[in-house]
Structure 1
């Protein structure tokens, strides 16, 4: 497909999402109201739903659409904690990879403009200069920055696609498991701000801190003496 055609398709897809009231369809209240119907349909058409949910999640990530948290809960609710986690991780990695490729090769001007609107962008870009692998792994493990921003920022650095995909896949596993596990109790969740307790955030922060140890050790190493 020609580059120009693809550039036009992306905003059209986003417009269709909002035109058909996508945010409402992916709202927590709407999912909870139709949860029995979704369970029954999934039981009858398991493989079709597995594929459809995976594609939907990847597209949602690639287009930076709202509703990612509810989708994660939904996948855990429909497919259980283990299959739900696997589906989230694989789908989100594919979607994030698409964002990386689009930002680096097709939509560089648009993506750069969006990043300039955020004061956090330059801090992210500076961090990649020290140790791209561990820094990106830290950003994936600790939910301090918006997911879309972490997807975009590496595209404007020398980070290789392989490094980006590997750190994304590994880094989102803990958070994906948490949301998939919470999804099994979807009926008891009233608000999204109930999901992550301070204990959970602390645990994710400690995991992220481990990823930063190599970066800090490099900075703390004494400089060699020179004559």
Structure 2
């Protein structure tokens, strides 16, 4: 009971912090007035106060591409003069989602590419994914072991058995699970401390194993911020970029799959998103 109360307190405190951070937006950067024909025309226009600000807009997690594009434009606008605030807000929101296993991190990866560009966005996505997953690991280790075993006894036991069977190449087994998610990432993050996966192996496997996925999402965000019409998408530069993304996604997975055929014990099939033993006919 104490662990449940402690977890609720952590969730409430993190939610209050993130809500407060998103609610108290700094002053919006001033938009430059559009050029006019001359001094006579400027004098004829009604004067507007220089410090007039737009109505405050509340931030929320995007649920579709339209909301994602709108949020990206808003944060790009704020980033011109409030880079530190935008970075803090983005990191806080990302860690909140990852730590409490809330779906939708792919939208934040795309948002990272749209706001911070391909290189900084990829670095942020990889670091935040790894740190957030590790925080989820620690929260499960401190508060959730008993509850997770009671909720998913069969799934935890199957994962425990597979971890024990692959102890001699545990790191590559974890990489395989990240490249080919027979077990959902949220479940693997929470169950890892229960099945005795060392935190160092867990940390490194998340960073490396989710790198292709993060790369694809970030590049999608970069293209989303740059493409304004179909003509921009159909070009040699864009096609080469898409080819590079495909190679980045397929090559590591192919290498891990080839290694797994020789060394890993993976006589499993996917059942409702969780690994389960194959039935021998």
| 1:141/1:207 contact within 8 Å kept | no
Which residue of structure 2 lines up, in the alignment, with residue 61 of structure 1? 98
Residue 42 (structure 2) aligns with = none
State the shift of 1:70 in Å: 0.6
**Structure ranking higher on relative contact order (CA contacts 8 Å, 6+ apart):** 1
Q: How many residues align?
A: 206
User: Is 1:155 matched up with 2:193?
Assistant: yes
Moved over 4 A (4+): 2-5, 13-17, 119-122, 199-204
Name the structure where helix makes up a greater proportion of residues. Answer: 1
Superposition TM-score, scaled by structure 1 size: 0.74
| RMSD over aligned Cα atoms | 3.6
TM-score, normalised to structure 2, is 0.61
Query: How do residues 141-180 of structure 1 correspond to structure 2 at under 5 angstroms?
Result: 141-180=179-218
Residue 193 of structure 1 corresponds to which residue in structure 2? none
Q: SS at 2:183's partner residue? A: coil
Q: How far 1:5 moved relative to its partner?
A: 5.5
Describe the superposition over 1:178-210 as per-residue Cα deviations: whole angstroms up to 9, x where unpaired: 111111122669xxxxxx9xx677556314315
Name the residue aligned to 1:192.
none
Residue matched to 1:6: 6
Q: Does 1:216 align with 2:264?
A: yes
Aligned-partner Cα distance in 2 for 1:74–1:162: 28
Change (3 A) 1:158 1:121: closer
1:82 aligns with 2:122: no
Identify the range of structure 1 (4-13 vs 64-73) with the bigger mean alpha-carbon deviation: 4-13
Gaps of 5+ in 1: 190-195, 220-227
Match of 1:128 in 2: 163
Task: Give the structure 1 partner of residue 55 of structure 2.
Answer: none
Alignment-derived partner of residue 224 in structure 1: none
Q: Is the 8 A contact 1:100 1:155 kept in 2?
A: yes
